[in-house]
């Protein structure tokens, strides 16, 4: 996590970190899973087997993930173009359950993350759209952009949503 925060993309070092994480994967908690995949997603480095192992091990423990951990995990898989369908479908379902706990960035990053991976979940987009519309005065330009892009990518159109987002875009 620290290397990614600092933008240090030392591939050999991070390959060793990924290998060590794979060896200790059963000991990881939700925050560790999310931070690991977020780090590789941020640096756009191939984590080797790590995503396979996180998908396998974390799948049954998604109930332990908080809103940010779910959003960051989905975001990282999208950045790495890693389609682990059963795991990501479970992340999507858990995100729907915990959506009331999501802040704007979690909401819009989640919508953005699932779109390029080919997930076209109307229930997720409807829920995220409703939540972002309810708090639209908190949206920043990047978040609005994420929502427009994700909606366009998956072919989701809600006239009221687009109208409200357009008004917010003009406000910003």
Give the number of other CB atoms < 10 A from CB of residue 15.
15
The gap from C-alpha 79 to its chain's centroid, in whole angstroms, comes to 9
- The confidence score (pLDDT) of residue 1 equals 65
Tokens of 34: 């999310």
Segments of the chain with pLDDT less than 50: none
pLDDT per residue over 33-44, tens digit each? Answer: 999 999 999 999
pLDDT per residue over 108-123, tens digit each? Answer: 999 999 999 888 888 9
- B/e letters for 49-72, b = 16+ CB within 10 Å, e = fewer, are ebbebbbebbeeebeebebbbbbb
pLDDT per residue over 140-154, tens digit each? Answer: 999 999 998 999 898
- The confidence score (pLDDT) of residue 6 equals 63
- The confidence score (pLDDT) of residue 3 equals 73
HSE-up of 159 (CA within 13 Å, CB side)?
0
DSSP 3-state helix, strand, coil percentages of the chain (rounded to 5)?
Answer: 80, 0, 20
SS3 call for 158:
coil
Cα 82 to Cα 15, 51, 65, 115: the distances in Å are 17, 8, 19, 12
């Amino acid at each position: 996590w620290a290397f990614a925060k600092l933008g240090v993309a030392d591939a050999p070092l991070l390959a060793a970190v990924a290998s060590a994480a794979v060896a200790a994967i059963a000991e990881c908690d939700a925050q560790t899973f999310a931070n690991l995949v977020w780090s590789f997603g941020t640096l756009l480095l191939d984590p080797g087997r790590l995503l396979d192992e996180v998908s396998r091990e974390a799948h049954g423990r998604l109930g332990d993930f908080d809103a940010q951990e779910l959003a960051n995990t989905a975001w990282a898989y999208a950045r790495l173009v890693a389609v682990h369908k059963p795991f990501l479908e479970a992340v999507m379902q858990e995100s729907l359950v915990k959506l009331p706990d999501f802040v704007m960035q979690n909401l819009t990053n989640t919508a953005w993350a699932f779109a390029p991976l080919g997930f076209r979940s109307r229930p997720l987009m409807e829920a995220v759209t409703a939540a972002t519309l309810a708090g639209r005065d908190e949206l920043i330009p990047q978040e609005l952009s994420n929502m427009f892009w994700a909606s366009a990518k998956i072919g989701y159109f809600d006239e009221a949503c687009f109208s409200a987002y357009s008004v917010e875009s003009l406000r910003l």
